[in-house]
Every structure is written in structure tokens, then in C-alpha cells.
């Protein structure tokens, strides 16, 4: 899981994802062990981030997301890789939903 997390982070950094954070959520939910959050500067940028993550994970791990949400509106795209869920959001949506505050276990937060 650490290798997959690192690959996703690298894909986001390569495409200039902003405010990248890793939240370890396994103590709060059974949905996933890790949420990775990143912001894009536009809907096109959010889609580019999603494409980069998908391509990187497919090439390096031969995995595709089990579920994808939000590609139509591009304000919030979710890529579900089972133990890792990637949330790619526009800054205003990220500020509105405040996932970091909702899911952060015991204040644990890693900013990249």
C-alpha cells in the first residue's frame, strides 16, 4: 500500500496538484485505509490530475479504480482503489466540504 500511495503522490506532484494531503482513516471508517486529497486550479486541471493518477497506477501496478465519480462536473473527482481513495477537488469545494476536518484521526495529517 505504501508503494501505491507513493506512486499516486508522485503522479499528483508531477501534474502540479495543490495542497496534497494524506489522511490515514482506518480508525474512523472501513471505507479505506488512506484518503489522498489534492486540489486543482480548474476543472481541466482536476481531470488532468485524475488521468495522471489512473495512468500511473495502471502502468505501475496494473490496477484500475474500482469506482470513479465526478468526471462529468470535475469539481470533485473520486478514484476508489480499495484501500486508497483519491479525492481531487476544486479549492472552493474542498473548503466547503472540509474532508480533512471530517476524516482526520486524532489530528494526524501529512501535507506534501
Residue 55 grid coordinates:
495512468
> Cell numbers 480533512 correspond to what residue?
100
pTM given for the model: 0.89
pLDDT band at 107 (very low <50, low <70, confident <90, very high): very low
Condensed to tens digits (0 to 9), the pLDDT of residues 37-96 reads: 999 999 999 999 999 999 999 999 999 999 999 999 889 999 999 999 999 999 999 999
Architecture field, domain 2-111: 2-Layer Sandwich (3.30)
Q: Are 48 and 110 in contact (CB under 8 A)?
A: no
Sequence spans of domains, the chain: 2-111
* Cα–Cα distances in angstroms (integers) from residue 106 to residues 23, 48, 102, in the given order: 11, 32, 11
Amino acid at each position: 500500500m505504501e508503494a501505491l500511495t507513493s506512486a499516486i503522490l508522485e503522479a499528483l506532484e508531477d501534474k502540479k496538484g495543490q495542497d496534497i494531503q494524506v489522511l490515514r482513516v482506518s480508525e474512523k471508517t472501513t471505507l479505506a485505509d488512506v484518503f489522498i486529497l489534492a486540489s486543482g486550479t480548474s476543472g481541466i486541471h482536476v481531470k488532468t490530475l485524475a488521468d495522471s493518477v489512473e495512468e500511473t497506477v495502471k502502468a505501475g501496478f496494473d490496477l484500475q479504480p474500482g469506482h470513479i465519480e465526478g468526471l462529468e462536473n470535475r469539481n470533485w473527482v473520486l478514484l476508489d482503489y480499495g484501500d486508497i481513495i483519491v479525492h481531487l477537488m476544486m479549492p472552493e469545494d474542498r473548503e466547503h466540504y472540509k474532508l480533512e476536518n471530517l476524516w482526520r484521526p486524532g489530528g494526524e495529517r501529512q501535507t506534501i
